[in-house]
Structure 1
Amino acid sequence: TPQRNILIDTTYERNVPTIEKSIQQLGFKVSDIKIVLGSHAHGDHQEGDALTKQMTGAQVMAMAEDVPALQAIKPGGKDHPIDRILHDGEPVMLGGTTLVAHLTPGHTRGCTTWTMKAQESGKMYNVVINCSLRPPTMLTPAIVDEFKRSFKLVRSLPCDVQLGDHPAQYEMEAKYAKLRNGGRNPFVDAASCKREVDIEEAMFHAILAEQQKPAQR
Structure 2
Amino acid sequence: MATLAAVSLVVSALAFVHVYAQDQPASWSEPQKPVRIFGNTWYVGTRGLSAILITSPTGAVLIDAAVREAADGIASNNTSVGVRLEDVKLIVNSHAHNDHAGAIAELQRRTGATVAALPWSAEALKSGKKYAGDPQFESPTTPPERVAKVKTIRDGEVLRAGGVEITAHKTAGHTPGSTTWTWRSCEEGRCVDIVYADSLTAVSADKFRFTDNKTYPHVIDDFTRGYAFLRSASCDILVTPHPEASDFWPRIAKRDGGERDALIDRTQCARYADRADAQLQKRLATERAK
TM-score (ref. length: structure 2): 0.68
Structure 2 match to 1:131 = 198
SS in 1 for 2:262: coil
CA distance, structure 1, for counterparts of residue 186 and residue 256 of structure 2: 19
Structure 1 match to 2:221 = 145
CA distance, structure 2, for counterparts of residue 195 and residue 82 of structure 1: 36
Structure 1 match to 2:160 = 93
Does the 8 Å contact 1:70/1:80 carry over to 2? yes
Segment of structure 1 superposing worse, 83-92 or 188-197: 188-197
Does the 8 Å contact 1:43/1:73 carry over to 2? no
TM-score (ref. length: structure 1): 0.89
How far residue 73 of structure 1 moved from its aligned partner, in angstroms, is: 2.2
- Among residues 109, 117, 120, which one is paired with 2:187 in the alignment? 120
Structure 2 match to 1:81 = 148
CA distance, structure 2, for counterparts of residue 83 and residue 207 of structure 1: 34
Structure 1 residues 182, 80: CA separation in 2 closer, same or farther (over 3 Å shift)? same
Does the 8 Å contact 2:231/2:270 carry over to 1? yes
**1:77-111 deviation line (CA, Å, top 9, x unaligned):** 96413342110000111233210000111011110
How far residue 72 of structure 1 moved from its aligned partner, in angstroms, is: 2.9
* Paired residues for 1:102-117 under 5 Å: 102-117=169-184
Segment of structure 1 superposing worse, 5-14 or 74-83: 74-83
- Among residues 89, 103, 111, which one is paired with 1:34 in the alignment? 89
How far residue 53 of structure 1 moved from its aligned partner, in angstroms, is: 1.0
Structure 1 residues 183, 145: CA separation in 2 closer, same or farther (over 3 Å shift)? closer
- Among residues 99, 107, 123, which one is paired with 1:68 in the alignment? 123
SS in 1 for 2:267: helix
How far residue 23 of structure 1 moved from its aligned partner, in angstroms, is: 2.4
Structure 2 match to 1:157 = 233
Does the 8 Å contact 1:133/1:197 carry over to 2? yes
Structure 2 match to 1:12 = 67
Does the 8 Å contact 1:49/1:81 carry over to 2? no
How far residue 76 of structure 1 moved from its aligned partner, in angstroms, is: 11
**1:109-151 deviation line (CA, Å, top 9, x unaligned):** 1100011111132122111110111112431442111111111
Does the 8 Å contact 1:47/1:73 carry over to 2? no
Hey, which bits of structure 1, 4+ residues long, moved more than 4 A? Answer: 74-78
**1:5-47 deviation line (CA, Å, top 9, x unaligned):** 1110112211101212222343433332111110011111112
SS in 2 for 1:190: coil
Does the 8 Å contact 1:60/1:81 carry over to 2? no
Structure 1 residues 182, 4: CA separation in 2 closer, same or farther (over 3 Å shift)? farther
**1:157-179 deviation line (CA, Å, top 9, x unaligned):** 11111111111122111122223
Does the 8 Å contact 2:182/2:195 carry over to 1? yes
Identity of counterpart residues, as a percentage? 30
- Higher relative contact order by CA 8 Å / sep ≥ 6: 1 or 2? 2
Cα RMSD (Å): 2.1
Aligned length: 214
Structure 1 match to 2:32 = none
CA distance, structure 2, for counterparts of residue 117 and residue 81 of structure 1: 30
CA distance, structure 1, for counterparts of residue 143 and residue 112 of structure 2: 19
Structure 1 match to 2:7 = none
Structure 1 residues 106, 76: CA separation in 2 closer, same or farther (over 3 Å shift)? closer
CA distance, structure 1, for counterparts of residue 250 and residue 203 of structure 2: 28
* Paired residues for 1:201-212 under 5 Å: 201-212=277-288
Does the 8 Å contact 1:62/1:82 carry over to 2? no
CA distance, structure 1, for counterparts of residue 238 and residue 144 of structure 2: 35
CA distance, structure 2, for counterparts of residue 69 and residue 168 of structure 1: 26
User: Counterpart amino acid of 1:144?
Assistant: I
